[in-house]
């Protein structure tokens, strides 16, 4: 049990350590030393992921783990580490830094249980555990009205979606008599009579997932929450939280609903087209960088759905691969926004004008991140997107990928807008040169290297492919 | 790995090393000389490749692809780094090397963010090299997109006029083309193996597979239009005049000279070769469009007064002739098309470099505000006239060889439709003569328009290097066309065989 729950136990240990450290009196003013050790612990936590994972089940088949799930957890650990590094500038002057990490690690723990869930109830518990601390995190800046608003919006929407999800879950239980994925797969065999009964319940369950991945039409909370929350939380929401739900969504679809593919494929097709199109259209006119990245991340969710639609080992591995790349590129973008916000408080696109003159390295990283999000070579994003579309092409959905490809052109327009702002526009008062902390710079260099190199080291994708499965 | 294969890899590694060296230096002169040295080495490498290729062929090596090198890349989905060249690729590689080398010297005076400028330019050229030597559709597509993106920065940062609009328009239209292309290439992948197990992006393998005709009908237009957009396929050519006129000199040179050739090359070696049945069925659509492009481009040029727009529209006309040659689907016309790609590449690069140099002196590109320039800058003026003569197809220059081959090939199709299209397209020769002579007459000949023109200096040494390089290519191909045309002709065997299967 200790071995199978390794990832979770380490996180629990971290939580305990943080709690105890919190109780130590004194030195409340200078947080830099404690932040250093926290980051070291998170790094060790990430390194533990490299120890091979055994396959196994626990808790009456509710909890399942294998190599693929280990990799997914490791990716989330990795993302959390980068976010923690990026948050340094912001946290070093914050009295509640420990609380931040307590909440952060708790959500991560919830996500780990969720990813490992092979039972809908377990999944629900994990989902809630991942979401509730997030609302507290979104409202973390206690003296900011916008932050409080963002927390309230997140919690209300989460509760609503959870309620819908639970209702669907109850209906599914009524129909199949089980909440275990494998048992459900046997009951949900997809004969036409079964469709009528299960369509509604599945739709409700999908709604629950849809809220968390923020796919259209369940995306309305995203932009407001992203804008109001502190940048670190926004990046956590858009990368880690989203990816974890994507992982478990894949398991649910590929295992529990493997015989229902004719039902969920059209659903996913429609939502993916809506998601990327609306996400892109709304992103076109955003001025605030966080809102902009919010809509861009909605559009990215649309592309992820296309990868899931591949319903093959290629589909699953391409999504995992994309998540890795997405961690690099989106956290690279958020990292730049985050250090600029921490240093100058500026978050608008207009403030970025002429930035290449004053902050060339930050501008170059943001340029690469934008190219990677847009899927342009030589950045890793090119490979990530192409493989997801390839997975869908394998099933013959050529019209769908044509729509996706045209959507990428729209998205290229607004990503290029950022680049234009930094490199071509002139500004009276560009953001002055500044040096960010060593932590942020480490995080940014990791993102930089990841964006450039991930695509060329094919071994990573080949490994993901070898641990993936399809229908 | 045999030595000949290293030669191909060098086409990617030499620019890559140059880029890395560029990152390390700050001094203006070092930046220039590192770029020049890197691209000079690349030019030597290209000539070496040409010679080696001719030696191999004359020693009786009839493999369709020479100097092949293959390394596994993404093993799980069978993507490999597969490089190799046939005659067409060699010609295109030589073209790229010549134009980039000249481009480095033509932009000697760039002083704003010089390092970034050369970096983008060499990246652009590296992508083109990679494109032409790729035998794997994945890497081919990778290099294709890689070539488009630096153009945005080159135009947007160093351009002139409505540069931001032009940069955005060009990038979005070309990436739109690549969106269509991506769908088509993924389609080819999943039809590359009828048994459904060993899908591949390998062009040589796909060429031997007969893809079902229904699938071909869907993918052929996607791929042909996708490549066609960058080859200025009418009516999707509109990025070209805006983009080329706003771009800085060297970017226009490489873009019009090399990047537009990516389109023709792809239409020929991907669309037509891999989907021959659909090409036979649907080529008429593109013949209509290409003919329209030839005529439209030529007539539009007549009324332009901006030197760059003149060259951009005449490029539309000349590039449409490339597509027309390909769509005629016979060996002679296709040979002509590839020759035209080379000829137009060096010629248009020469034009753009001259326009840049003239603009630096006269500070206007409007021909009606200039006059008598031949008297004050005789060297540049003479070279412009020579380029013009090449453009209107005077024997002795590459333009003549290329156009006449296209038209002879086109006329071999003896049905009414092809004949009419050919005859209409041929009239462009006359129109070309009209606009070239008109332009030369207005701004080079006649009385000197402004007093201050008398103080203008003629070409400096780096400008002479750029122009002489391009000029010699035009003349060599004009006088000894058979070196190239034989190489191209025999390399078209695979395409023609596929078309007849």
Cβ of residue A426 closer than 8 Å to a chain B Cβ: no
DSSP secondary structure letters along A217-235? TS-HHHHHHHHHS-HHHHH
| Burial of A300 from C-beta contacts in 10 A (0-12 / 13-18 / 19+) | buried
Cβ contacts of B186 on chain A, cutoff 8 Å: 389-390, 393, 398, 401
Task: Give SS3 for A65.
Answer: strand
Cβ contacts of B73 on chain A, cutoff 8 Å: 458
Domain of A253, in residue numbers: 6-467
Task: Give SS3 for A288.
Answer: strand
Cβ of residue A469 closer than 8 Å to a chain B Cβ: no
Of B171, B176, B183, nearest to A416 by CB-CB distance is: B171
pLDDT score, position A95? 75
Cβ contacts of A390 on chain B, cutoff 8 Å: 77, 186, 189
Give the HSE-up count for residue B196: Cα atoms under 13 Å, Cβ half-sphere: 3
Task: Give SS3 for A61.
Answer: coil
Cβ contacts of B154 on chain A, cutoff 8 Å: none
Can you tell me the distance from the alpha carbon of B481 to that of B475, in angstroms, rounded to the nearest whole number? 9
In contact, A314 and A387? CB cutoff 8 Å: yes
**Local confidence band at B5 (pLDDT 50, 70, 90 cut-offs):** low
Q: Which of A284, A398, A421 to mutate to test the interface with B (most CBs of B within 10 A)?
A: A398
| Chain A nearest-CA residue for B149 | A376
In contact, B388 and B441? CB cutoff 8 Å: no
C-alpha distances out from residue A459 to A397, A464, B77, B137, B186, Å: 27, 9, 12, 20, 22
CB atoms within 10 A of CB A345: 8
C-alpha distances out from residue A341 to A134, A239, A337, A372, A435, Å: 21, 19, 6, 22, 13
Percentage of chain B modeled with pLDDT above 70: 99
Can you tell me the distance from the alpha carbon of B372 to that of A291, in angstroms, rounded to the nearest whole number? 57
Query: pLDDT tens for residues A73-102?
Result: 999 999 999 999 988 888 887 777 888 888
Q: Check CB contact under 8 Å for A401 and B142.
A: no
Cβ contacts of B183 on chain A, cutoff 8 Å: 393, 398, 401-402, 405
Of A455, A454, A471, give the one whose Cα is nearest residue A313.
A471
Query: pLDDT tens for residues B25-41?
Result: 888 888 888 999 999 99
Query: pLDDT tens for residues B341-358?
Result: 999 999 999 999 999 888
Q: Which of A391, A394, A409 to mutate to test the interface with B (most CBs of B within 10 A)?
A: A409
Percentage of chain A modeled with pLDDT above 90: 37
Is residue A196 scored above 70 in pLDDT? no
**Local confidence band at A382 (pLDDT 50, 70, 90 cut-offs):** very high
Of B156, B179, B180, nearest to A423 by CB-CB distance is: B156
Q: Check CB contact under 8 Å for B218 and A466.
A: no
C-alpha distances out from residue B420 to B44, B287, B408, B413, B433, Å: 44, 11, 14, 10, 21
Strands annotated E in B13-87 = 66-74, 79-85
Can you tell me the distance from the alpha carbon of B297 to that of B323, in angstroms, rounded to the nearest whole number? 13
In contact, A332 and A369? CB cutoff 8 Å: yes
- Better pLDDT: B148 or A194: B148
Of B69, B100, B56, B65, give the one whose Cα is nearest residue B269.
B65
| Chain B nearest-CA residue for A390 | B186
Please name every residue paired with A63 in a beta bridge, in sequence order, or none if there are none. Answer: A58, A117
CA distance B238 to chain A (A): 17
What is the ipTM metric for this complex?
A: 0.92
pLDDT score, position B225? 93
Find the length of chain B: 501
Spell A107-126 as b/e; 16+ CB within 10 A means b: bbbbbbbbbbbbbbebbbbb
Percentage of chain B modeled with pLDDT above 90: 31
Q: Check CB contact under 8 Å for A465 and B164.
A: no
C-alpha distances out from residue B201 to A164, A358, B70, B185, B204, Å: 45, 44, 13, 8, 9
Cβ contacts of A461 on chain B, cutoff 8 Å: 74, 76
Q: State how beta strands A56-58 and B66-74 pair.
A: unpaired
Is residue A148 scored above 70 in pLDDT? yes
In contact, B267 and B228? CB cutoff 8 Å: yes
Contact residues for A298 (Cβ-Cβ < 8 A; gap 6+): A214, A215, A216, A219, A222, A275, A278, A279, A282, A283
Q: Check CB contact under 8 Å for A401 and B218.
A: no
Can you tell me the distance from the alpha carbon of A457 to that of A355, in angstroms, rounded to the nearest whole number? 32
For residue A378, cis peptide bond before it (omega within 30 degrees of 0) = yes
Q: Is residue A100 part of a domain?
A: yes
Q: Is residue A296 part of a domain?
A: yes
Which whole number is the average pLDDT over A49-76? 87
Helix H or strand E encompassing A56: strand A56-58
Spell A439-459 as b/e; 16+ CB within 10 A means b: bbbbbbebbbebbeebbeebe
In this structure, is the dihedral angle defined by the CA atoms of residues A83, A88, A90 and A95, taken in order, positive or negative? positive
Cβ of residue A462 closer than 8 Å to a chain B Cβ: yes
C-alpha distances out from residue B214 to A5, A329, B281, Å: 52, 39, 11
**Lowest-confidence segment of A116-120, A196-200, A444-448 by average pLDDT:** A196-200
Q: Which of B16, B72, B77 to mutate to test the interface with A (most CBs of A within 10 A)?
A: B77
Of B153, B172, B222, nearest to A413 by CB-CB distance is: B172
CB atoms within 10 A of CB A20: 9
Q: Check CB contact under 8 Å for A413 and B168.
A: yes
Cβ contacts of A280 on chain B, cutoff 8 Å: none
- Mean of all residue pLDDT scores within chain B: 88
| Chain B nearest-CA residue for A461 | B74
Is residue A169 scored above 50 in pLDDT? yes
- φ, ψ dihedrals at B80, nearest 5°: -130, 160
Of B147, B192, B8, B146, give the one whose Cα is nearest residue B82.
B8
Cβ of residue A423 closer than 8 Å to a chain B Cβ: yes
pLDDT score, position B394? 83
Can you tell me the distance from the alpha carbon of A449 to that of A328, in angstroms, rounded to the nearest whole number? 9
Task: Give SS3 for B131.
Answer: helix
pLDDT score, position B4? 53
In this structure, is the dihedral angle defined by the CA atoms of residues B58, B61, B64 and B70, taken in order, positive or negative? negative
- φ, ψ dihedrals at A167, nearest 5°: -60, -45
**Local confidence band at B222 (pLDDT 50, 70, 90 cut-offs):** very high
Cβ of residue A360 closer than 8 Å to a chain B Cβ: no
Contact residues for B22 (Cβ-Cβ < 8 A; gap 6+): B31, B34, B35, B115, B118, B119, B122
Cβ contacts of A418 on chain B, cutoff 8 Å: none
pLDDT score, position B483? 83
Cβ of residue A255 closer than 8 Å to a chain B Cβ: no
Q: Which of A309, A376, A385 to mutate to test the interface with B (most CBs of B within 10 A)?
A: A376
**Local confidence band at A386 (pLDDT 50, 70, 90 cut-offs):** very high
Can you tell me the distance from the alpha carbon of B84 to that of B469, in angstroms, rounded to the nearest whole number? 26
In contact, A291 and A298? CB cutoff 8 Å: no
CA distance B387 to chain A (A): 34
Give the HSE-up count for residue B440: Cα atoms under 13 Å, Cβ half-sphere: 20
Contact residues for B26 (Cβ-Cβ < 8 A; gap 6+): B115
Q: Check CB contact under 8 Å for A416 and B157.
A: no
Q: Is residue A205 part of a domain?
A: yes
Strands annotated E in B75-203 = 79-85
Spell B96-129 as b/e; 16+ CB within 10 A means b: bbbbbbbbbbbbbebeebbbbbbbbbbbbbbbbb
Can you tell me the distance from the alpha carbon of A347 to that of A228, in angstroms, rounded to the nearest whole number? 11
CA distance B145 to chain A (A): 6
Q: Check CB contact under 8 Å for B187 and A393.
A: yes
In contact, B178 and B162? CB cutoff 8 Å: no
In contact, A260 and A202? CB cutoff 8 Å: yes
Q: Is residue A1 part of a domain?
A: no
**Local confidence band at B205 (pLDDT 50, 70, 90 cut-offs):** confident
Of A376, A398, A413, nearest to B187 by CB-CB distance is: A398
Of A157, A339, A356, A312, give the one whose Cα is nearest residue A232.
A339
- Pick left, alpha or beta for residue B72 (phi over 0 → left; psi -120 to 50 → alpha; otherwise beta): beta
Q: Which of B186, B192, B197 to mutate to test the interface with A (most CBs of A within 10 A)?
A: B186
Can you tell me the distance from the alpha carbon of B341 to that of B469, in angstroms, rounded to the nearest whole number? 17
Query: pLDDT tens for residues A95-107?
Result: 778 888 889 999 9
Task: Give SS3 for A193.
Answer: helix
Q: Check CB contact under 8 Å for A409 and B179.
A: yes
Q: Check CB contact under 8 Å for A402 and B190.
A: no
Q: Is residue A186 part of a domain?
A: yes
| Chain B nearest-CA residue for A404 | B179
CA distance A64 to chain B (A): 26
Q: Which of B74, B126, B127 to mutate to test the interface with A (most CBs of A within 10 A)?
A: B74
Domains of chain A: total? 1
Cβ contacts of B149 on chain A, cutoff 8 Å: 371, 376-377
pLDDT score, position A311? 85
CA distance B300 to chain A (A): 29
Of B338, B334, B329, B340, give the one whose Cα is nearest residue B294.
B340
Cβ contacts of A416 on chain B, cutoff 8 Å: 152, 168, 171
Q: Check CB contact under 8 Å for B171 and A412.
A: yes
Can you tell me the distance from the alpha carbon of B176 to that of B148, in angstroms, rounded to the nearest whole number? 11
Give the HSE-up count for residue B430: Cα atoms under 13 Å, Cβ half-sphere: 5
**Local confidence band at B1 (pLDDT 50, 70, 90 cut-offs):** very low
């Amino acid at each position: 049990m200790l071995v199978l729950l390794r990832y979770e136990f380490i996180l629990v240990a971290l939580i305990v350590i943080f709690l105890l450290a919190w109780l130590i009196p004194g030195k409340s003013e200078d947080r830099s030393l404690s932040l250093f050790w926290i980051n070291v612990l998170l790094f060790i936590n990430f390194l533990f992921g490299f120890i091979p994972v055994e396959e196994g089940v626990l808790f009456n088949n509710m909890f399942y783990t294998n190599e693929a799930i280990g990799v997914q957890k490791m990716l989330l650990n990795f993302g959390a580490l980068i976010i923690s590094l990026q948050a340094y500038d912001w946290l070093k002057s914050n009295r509640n830094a420990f609380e931040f990490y307590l909440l952060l690690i708790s959500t991560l723990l919830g996500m780990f249980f969720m990813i490992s869930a092979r039972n809908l109830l377990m999944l629900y518990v994990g989902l809630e555990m991942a979401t509730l601390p997030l609302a507290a995190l979104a409202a973390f800046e206690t003296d900011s009205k916008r932050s409080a608003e963002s927390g309230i919006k997140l919690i209300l929407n989460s509760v609503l979606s959870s309620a819908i999800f639970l209702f669907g879950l109850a209906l599914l239980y009524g129909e199949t008599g089980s909440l275990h994925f494998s048992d459900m797969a046997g009951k949900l065999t997809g004969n036409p009579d079964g469709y009528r009964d299960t369509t509604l319940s599945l739709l409700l369950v999908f709604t629950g997932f849809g809220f968390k991945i923020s796919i259209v039409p369940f995306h309305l909370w995203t932009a407001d929450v992203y804008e109001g929350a502190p940048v670190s939380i926004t990046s956590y929401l858009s990368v880690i939280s989203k990816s974890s739900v994507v992982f478990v969504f894949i398991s649910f679809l590929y295992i529990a609903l493997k015989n229902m593919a004719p039902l969920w494929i059209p659903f996913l097709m429609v939502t993916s087209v809506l998601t990327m199109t609306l996400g892109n259209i709304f992103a076109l006119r955003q001025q605030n960088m966080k809102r902009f990245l919010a809509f861009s991340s909605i559009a990215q969710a649309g592309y992820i759905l296309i990868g899931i639609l591949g319903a093959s080992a290629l589909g699953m591995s391409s999504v995992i691969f994309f998540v890795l790349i997405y961690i690099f590129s989106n956290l690279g973008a958020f990292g730049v926004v985050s250090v600029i916000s921490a240093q100058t408080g500026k978050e608008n696109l207009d403030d970025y004008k002429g930035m290449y003159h004053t902050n060339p390295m930050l501008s170059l990283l943001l340029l690469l991140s934008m190219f990677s999000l847009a899927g342009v070579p030589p950045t890793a994003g090119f490979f990530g997107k192409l493989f997801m579309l390839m997975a869908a092409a394998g099933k013959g959905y050529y019209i769908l990928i044509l729509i996706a490809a045209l959507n990428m052109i729209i998205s290229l327009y607004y990503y290029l807008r950022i680049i234009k702002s930094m490199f071509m526009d002139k500004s009276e008062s560009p953001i002055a040169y500044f040096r960010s902390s060593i932590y942020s710079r480490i995080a940014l260099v990791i993102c930089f290297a990841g964006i450039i190199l991930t695509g060329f080291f094919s071994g990573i994708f080949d490994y993901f492919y070898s641990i993936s499965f399809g229908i | 790995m045999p030595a000949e294969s290293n030669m191909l890899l060098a086409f990617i590694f030499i620019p890559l090393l140059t880029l890395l060296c560029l990152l390390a230096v700050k001094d203006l002169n070092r930046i220039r000389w590192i770029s020049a040295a890197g691209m000079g080495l690349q030019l030597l490498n290209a000539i070496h490749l040409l010679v080696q290729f001719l030696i191999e062929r004359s020693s009786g090596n009839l493999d369709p692809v020479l100097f092949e090198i293959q390394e596994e890349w993404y093993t799980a989905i069978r993507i490999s780094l597969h490089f190799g060249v046939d005659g067409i690729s060699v010609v295109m590689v030589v073209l790229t090397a010549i134009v980039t080398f000249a481009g480095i010297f033509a932009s000697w005076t760039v002083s704003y963010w010089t390092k970034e400028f050369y970096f983008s330019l060499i990246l652009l050229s590296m992508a083109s090299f990679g494109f032409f030597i790729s035998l794997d559709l994945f890497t081919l597509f990778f290099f294709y997109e890689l070539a488009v993106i630096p153009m945005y920065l080159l135009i947007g940062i160093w351009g002139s006029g409505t540069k931001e609009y032009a940069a955005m328009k060009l990038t979005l239209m070309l990436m739109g083309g690549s969106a269509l292309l991506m769908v088509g290439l993924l389609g080819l992948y999943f039809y590359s193996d009828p048994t459904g197990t060993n899908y591949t992006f390998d062009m040589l393998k796909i060429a031997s597979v007969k893809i079902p005709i229904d699938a071909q009908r869907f993918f052929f237009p996607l791929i042909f239009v996708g490549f066609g957009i960058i080859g200025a396929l009418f009516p999707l050519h509109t990025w070209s005049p805006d983009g080329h006129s706003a771009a800085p000199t060297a970017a226009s040179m490489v873009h019009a000279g090399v990047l537009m050739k990516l389109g023709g090359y792809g239409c020929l070696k991907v669309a037509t070769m891999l989907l021959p049945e659909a090409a036979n069925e649907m080529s008429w659509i593109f013949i209509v469009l290409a003919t329209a492009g030839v005529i439209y481009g030529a007539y539009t040029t007549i009324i332009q007064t901006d030197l760059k727009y003149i060259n951009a529209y005449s490029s539309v006309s000349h590039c449409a002739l490339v597509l027309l040659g390909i769509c005629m689907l016979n060996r002679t016309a296709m040979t002509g098309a590839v020759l035209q790609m080379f000829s137009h590449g060096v010629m248009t690069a020469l034009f753009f470099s001259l326009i840049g140099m003239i603009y630096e002196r006269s500070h206007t590109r409007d021909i009606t505000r200039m006059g008598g320039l031949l008297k004050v800058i005789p060297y540049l003026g003479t070279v412009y006239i020579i380029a013009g003569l090449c453009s209107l197809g005077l024997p002795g220059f590459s333009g003549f060889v290329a156009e006449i081959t296209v038209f002879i090939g086109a006329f071999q199709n003896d049905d009414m439709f092809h004949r009419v299209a050919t005859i209409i397209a041929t009239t462009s020769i006359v129109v070309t003569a009209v606009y070239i002579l008109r332009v030369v007459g207005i701004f080079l000949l006649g009385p000197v328009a402004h007093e201050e023109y008398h103080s203008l200096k003629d070409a400096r040494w780096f400008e002479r290097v750029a122009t002489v390089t391009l000029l010699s290519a035009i003349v060599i191909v004009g006088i000894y066309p058979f070196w190239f045309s034989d190489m191209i002709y025999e390399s078209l065997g695979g395409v023609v065989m596929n078309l007849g299967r």
